[in-house]
Every structure is written in C-alpha cells, then in structure tokens.
Chain A
Amino acid sequence: MADKHKESFKIEAKELLAELETTLLELERNKDNFDLINKAFRALHTIKGSAGMFDYDNISMFTHDIENLFDKIRNGEVEITKQIIDLTLMAKDQISLMLEDTETEKFSNDEIVKNVIISFKELSDLGISVAEESGIQKDKVKVEAKSSLYFIKFIPSKEIFVNGTNPIYLINELTGLGEAIVKADTRQIPDLKELITEYCYIGWKLLLSSTKSLDTIRDVFIFVEDLCEIEVEKLDIKEDIASNKELFSILNSELDFDSFSVENILAKAEKIIVELQDSEQIPAKEIKVSKKEITTADTDTKQSVRINAEKLDELVNLVGELVIVQARLSQTVSRIDDSELANISEEVERLTWELRDSALNIRMLPIGTTFNKFKRLVRDLAYELGKEVELTTEGAETELDKTVIEKLNDPLVHIIRNAIDHGIEEPEKRVALGKQRKGSINLSASQSGGNVIIKISDDGAGIDKEKIKEKALSLGLISEGIEYKESDIFSLIFHPGFSLAKKITSVSGRGVGMDVVKKAIEGLRGTVEVESELGKGTTIILKLPLTLAIIDGLLVEISNNFYVLPLSSVEECVELSRKDTDKMHGRNIINIRGELIPFIKLRERFFIDGEAPEIEQVVIVDIKGNRVGFVVDKVVGQHQTVLKTLGKIYKSVNDISGATILGDGTVALIIDVQKLAEQQELEEREKLK
C-alpha cells in the first residue's frame, strides 16, 4: 500500500516543484508580487506537510527551514534577493533528488543539504531549528500496573451538538478505558415546551477504575476542553474502607447512591463492580446512504483527471480498430442496395470519425509546459556560459500528442543549448556589433494543416555557410565545384560527427548533437530545417504531424497490391503513357508543364510480378521542396488509415513506415516517401560510380 501512495505523492510533488520553480523565476523579476510570494510559500508548505506522511521525513525536515523563511518573507520581515532565489532553486533541485532516493533515512549529498539548511537558517536569523521545538507534546503514557480510581465530572455546554460532538461517544470512550459507573444528571432538562432540541441539557458523573493515566483520561476530552466543564480527579483509596470519606461523599452526594450499594461496591477492593446503566443511545436519525451518491458528481469547474498513459493508448488503439471495421462496414453496405442500411452506415461513419477525433484529442497536451521548463534551462545555461539571454515563447497553447511532447524534450534542449553556446554572442561583443546586449531566443509553436510547426530562433551570430562548406569538403560530404542550395548546405550540420565548435565545452562541441536531433524528429515522422543569416541569427524549424496513430493517405494499387502514400505530401496525380516514357529515352523523367520531374517505378522497386498497364499513374509527391513522382497502376482514392507498425523484424526496412488494413481485410503497406526517395537516389549514385 505504502508504495502505491508514495508513487502518487512523487508525481504530485514533482508537479509542485515545477510550479515552485516557475514561481521563483517570476519572483526574480517581480520581487514584490505578494501573490507569487504566497504561491511559493504554499507550494513549500504543502510539500513539507505531505512529505512526512509518505515516509519522506528527510524532505519534510529539509523543507522546514525554507518554509520558515518564506513565511517571514510573506510577513514582510525579510526581503527577496537573488541569493534567496538561487538558494531556493538549489533547494528545489535537492528535493527532486531526495524524491528519487530510495534510502530515505540518509540524505543524498549531505554536504549540499547541510550548507543549504545553514544558509536558510542564517537568512531567517534562527539560532536553532524550529523543528526541534515540538508544538504538541507526545503523550508520555505511564502504564501503571495498578488500577486507579477516578472521579470524572463532565458537563457539556448547551451548544456542544453544534460542533458535531456527540457526548455519548465520549462517555463510551471513557467507559472503554476500564470499568465505570455512570450517572447522568438530568436535572437541567426543561419542560417540553421550553426544550430546544439542539441543546444538550445533560451532565455526567463517572467513577472510573482504570489502569490508564490521568493524562490519558483527560485526552478523551481533547476536542471539547474549552466547550465543557470537565473535572478529572484521581481518588486515593485507603485500605481501611471506612476511612474513605472522600469516596463516600462522592458516592452519596454526587452519584446519589444509597448506603447499601456503597457497601456492596466497596466490598471489592481491587475491582469496582460496575452496574452499567443503559447508556446506549441511538443517534437521533438513521442516516441512509445511497451507493449511487458515492460517485464523483459532474462539476462546472475545470477538473482534470489523471489517467494512466497505457489505458489511453489502449483506448486509441481500440478506436483505431473501430475505424477499420467501420470502413469494412461501409464497403459492404455499398454493395448491398438497402437505403436504410446505408443511412445507418453513414451515421456510424460519422460517429466513428467524431470518436476518432475525440480519442486523439485526449492525448493532446499544450506545449506550454515544455516551453516553461526551458526558462530555467536558459537562465542557468546563460549564466554558466557568461551570456545574457532572454527566452520568449509564442503559441504555448498549441497542442501536441503527449508522446510527441515527451520525445521533443531532448532535441529541443539540445537546440537551445546550441543557440546559447554558439549562436548568442557575449554581451560585449553584441554591443560592439550594434546589437542589444541581451540576446534573445524565441520558441514558437503553431498549427498548420495536419502539422505543428515549432520554431527556435535566436538573434545570434548565425551559421557561416562557408565554414560549413569547408568542413563538409574535408569530411567528403560534398564535392568541389557543385552548386548546392542554401538549405542543403545548412542541412549538412545534421550529419553525424559534424561540428563547427572550436572547443568542446560540457555543453556542445562533441558533434553528436544535431544528428541525434534529426533522428529524433524523424522518428516522430517530422522534419527539421535550418534557416540562417550570418550575423543576424538562426532559426530551426521543426515540422511534426499532429497525430502519430491515424493518417490521411492516398490509396494506390499495383497488380492487386495496395499501398498508401501520405496525403499531406501528395501534390497531384498525372497519367503516364508509353508514349511519355519513350520520349525520355528510357530515363525516368516526366515533363509536367515544363518542369522535369523524376519518378520511381514502384512496380520495379518492389519487384511486383505482372505486366504494367498501358496507362499508369504518377503520384507527384513533395519531398523537402523537391517534387518526385511515384508510378503506380491505379490511384484508388483517399483513405484514412490507422497506422500499424510492422514489428521489430522490419525495423530496417526504410521504405515502409507501417501497414494498415483495408475495408475488405487486405493489408496495405504505408510508404515512407522521403526515405524511399533518398534510398533510390543513393542506389542510383552507386550505379553511376
């Protein structure tokens, strides 16, 4: 049990820490903003309070002094300084580490922890840690082997019910501590006419024989001490029964026992035989509980529900399957001439599409949280590298699939690091160049068609084309004398091992960065492009598909084999006749409105048996600005496909990115047009050599 809740607390604590960090960074700029100060205090307070409940005593103790300091800041006793912000950020990092540490008894990084705590204490001017004072004294329960006799007087205030207290429960608690005689004093109950049912008119007196201590007995009344008249007295019982005057008088006057009963009672010296009067009182109302009401009611307030990511994937998967089956239904229905069925099928199709959109939407998260994380990164990194940088963001509300966001994190970090390390110049240099002293990096996200465009631009030094050409020549990536497009030159920086850095810092220069970034983005079926102007700055443009799971495709056929091309890349379809190919003397080029476009004969590439028809179709596709044609027998039409991966065995097959199932059950392979084209190009180059 403890582990499950601990995990839950960990997730929650991480969120609180992230919020704390954001708040601290904002506080740095708005030192007097009371709301922010309060927010920071509350985050610390919650972390401290909850940590102790989930076995994170070290976090609880560590946070204690920080919370204290912020309390003082709240009260205006201490002012916020950069030092405090830095220290608190460091403390936040430490707490993050502590969350992960499985051995919660010892601190990880003892030295750092000690120093941080000392610093906080100094800042708060506390000599000793407040944690050492204890607000509530733990009960020192002295277990007495012998029974003692107590006289207890308990007269609740009239309004005691209004506090939710039921005096009978207290009586029960007392009698549970030993053996007791209880007498209720009903003399105060007024006439029915004057009786107010919400008031308590009864008082109680008890004789209790118990092994518990006086403190324990007093503790029963802990919640009502100031609302009632309470007396708890330990009585001295003497061996000589007759000389127990005190007891007699109590039994007589206070408890109204006659002398006969008193004798009886006193006959047993060690134990007092109890005649428990009927003190069972049923509460005024039997409260009925309907099981139905124990469900979370719908509220207007924006509530979020935490969902296990796996369950979400399952849901999306099922929706995908549904889309496939629905396609089959449509197809079957179209063959049957039944208008009613056709109507229903149309309705099902519409609902399935809506469901699909809804399901995919659930996985979407705004990219803003990722952007916010980078604010801290930029701040720390800029400081470390001696640069002054400001991070601005746009389009934080743009939504992306959850997995895409997670996988984007590392590439973005790397791109930003590069920008700060290589892009932004030192403050003095910038001023000398006539630029603003503070460099700026802008993160923007926007939606365009079926894609999300993320741009990371800086106003730094830009990329030197000539230097790239030099390096690329030396690495043998390009050849002398050929005119390359600017975008192609810039794309060279994504080549593995390519790095223009003169020195290797801890941050960059190892040349393993940009190619990993490219791979990561391509793994998300996205593209990376670079735009740069020497002296002005660089912009990295990431284009990512909105969803991973379902794509709109163009279904094509070659001798009864079906393939799907991503619709977003398709520009047009043109006929290809024997005459056209003859014109080109066997070369795979087609002339479309004066433009020469190369094409790939998929039939050949995929070694498909059979004869090509007289007239074939060329699907013109846009691949990174270049137009390439794919020759097929027939273009069947638009087809919404649920992308299914082929499995690990086919990982090295680059041409195909997955498969899908058509309405009638046949499998269609989804073509990765870019990879296929690149592969084809490579093979042709080899042939020329």
Chain B
Amino acid sequence: MAKLIMTVDDSTSIRQMVTFTLKEAGYDVIEAVDGMDALQKLETAKVNLILTDLNMPNLDGIGLIKKVRMMPNYKFTPIIFLTTESQEAKKNEAKASGATGWIVKPFKPEQLISVIKKVLPN
C-alpha cells in the first residue's frame, strides 16, 4: 500500500513538480493550495506525511503545522516544511511548532526524496 503524501504550496508549478517527483518514487500524492485548503482535506484524507511551504496566503506553513499537531489523527505524522536559506528564524519557529524536518529551496528532486525517505520510508 503506497504511502500518501500531502503537498501544500501556493505555487502551482512547485506543487506539480513535487507531485511528479513523489509519484515517480512510488508515493501517492494529494495537493493543497494553502493552509486552509490543507486542513479541509486532512479531515477526510488519511495522509502519512505533510510537505508544506511556509509562505502561503490564508493560512501559512507555521499556522498549518500548529493546527495539524492539534488534530488527534495527525499528532505523530511527519511534517516537512520548505524553507529558503535566509529564513533561520522561521525555521526555528517551525521546529518549535512541531515540524519534523525541512528541506531547503531550491532543491533538486533527489534531495526531496532523500528527506522524505528519512522520515517515511516506503
């Protein structure tokens, strides 16, 4: 049974690239365009890992991480966030909010897969 990963990003092109990369690696993927969209989808989908950008409208990455950690089904689900080099403070905030790990933008598809495998081997 393939693991289901949710990718949350307001950039369509990044979402598409991530979806493609993950599917190639054998994961199932569900997309969300921002924090609010993600929360709504998480109510019905059974996701094994959440991959989220930090800068998004409506509900940003940090907000999403905090809310997800309050959902009983997702208390222990790995959450990986996307960050740029210059966002040290944000990184710490995300970690403090309950994120599992991170990946730095720009990243190559292989890097994405190796981080995912770290927290969610198939």
| A residues at B contact (CB < 8 Å) | 1, 4-5, 8-9, 11-12, 42, 45-46, 48-54, 60, 130, 134-136, 161-166, 169-170, 172-173, 198, 220, 222-223, 226, 284, 287-290, 293-294, 296-297, 299, 301, 303, 306
- A54→B105 CA distance, assembly (Å): 11
Question: Is A54's CB under 8 angstroms from B13's CB?
Answer: yes
B22 at the interface (CB under 8 A from A): no
> B98 and A299: CB pair below 8 A?
no
Q: Is B41 an interface residue (CB 8 A)?
A: yes
Partner among B40, B78, B88 whose Cβ is within 8 Å of the Cβ of A164? B78
Q: B13 is contacted by which of A8, A60, A134 (Cβ under 8 Å)?
A: A8
Write the nearest CB–CB distance from B105 to chain A, whole angstroms: 5
| B residues at A contact (CB < 8 Å) | 1-4, 10-14, 16-17, 20, 28-31, 33, 36-37, 40-41, 44-46, 48-49, 55, 58, 69, 75-79, 84-86, 88, 95, 98-102, 104-107, 118-121
Instruction: Output the nearest chain A residue to B75 by Cβ-Cβ distance.
Output: A162
- B4 nearest CB across to chain A (Å): 5
- Extra contacts, 9 of them, besides A222-B101, A289-B46 (Cβ < 8 A), are A12-B12, A49-B105, A50-B105, A135-B86, A161-B75, A162-B75, A165-B78, A289-B1, A293-B30
Contact A12 B11 (CB under 8 A): yes
Report the minimal beta-carbon distance from B112 to chain A, rounded to whole angstroms.
Answer: 10
What are the 9 tightest A-B residue pairs by CB atom distance, in nearest-first order?
A52-B106, A135-B85, A9-B13, A164-B100, A223-B101, A164-B78, A8-B13, A293-B45, A53-B106
A-B contact pairs, 10 of them (CB 8 A): A12-B13, A53-B17, A53-B106, A165-B78, A166-B78, A170-B118, A198-B75, A223-B118, A288-B1, A289-B1
Known A5-B20, A9-B13, A54-B17; judge A294-B33 contact (CB<8 A).
Answer: no
Distance in angstroms from A65 CB to nearest chain B CB is 13
Q: How far is the CB of A563 from chain B (nearest CB, A)?
A: 48
Q: In the complex, what residue of chain B is closest to A55 when comparing beta carbons?
A: B106
A198 to B98: give the CA distance in the assembly, Å: 14
Chain A residue numbers with a CB within 8 Å of B120 are: 169
Evaluate contact between B85 and A5: CB separation under 8 angstroms.
no
Q: Cβ of A9: which chain B residues have Cβ within 8 Å of it?
A: 13-14
Q: Chain A contacts of B31 at CB under 8 A?
A: 296
Q: How far is the CB of A135 from chain B (nearest CB, A)?
A: 3
Nearest-neighbour CB distance to chain A for B102, whole angstroms, equals 7
Bound-state CA distance A287–B107 (Å) is: 29
A223 close to B100 (CB less than 8 A):
yes
Query: Taking A287-B46, A301-B36 as contacts, is the C-beta distance between A164 and B119 under 8 angstroms?
Result: yes
CB distance from B21 to the nearest CB of A (A): 9
Chain A residues within an 8 Å CB radius of B37: 299, 301
Please, how many angstroms separate the alpha-carbon atoms of A24 and B2 in the complex?
46
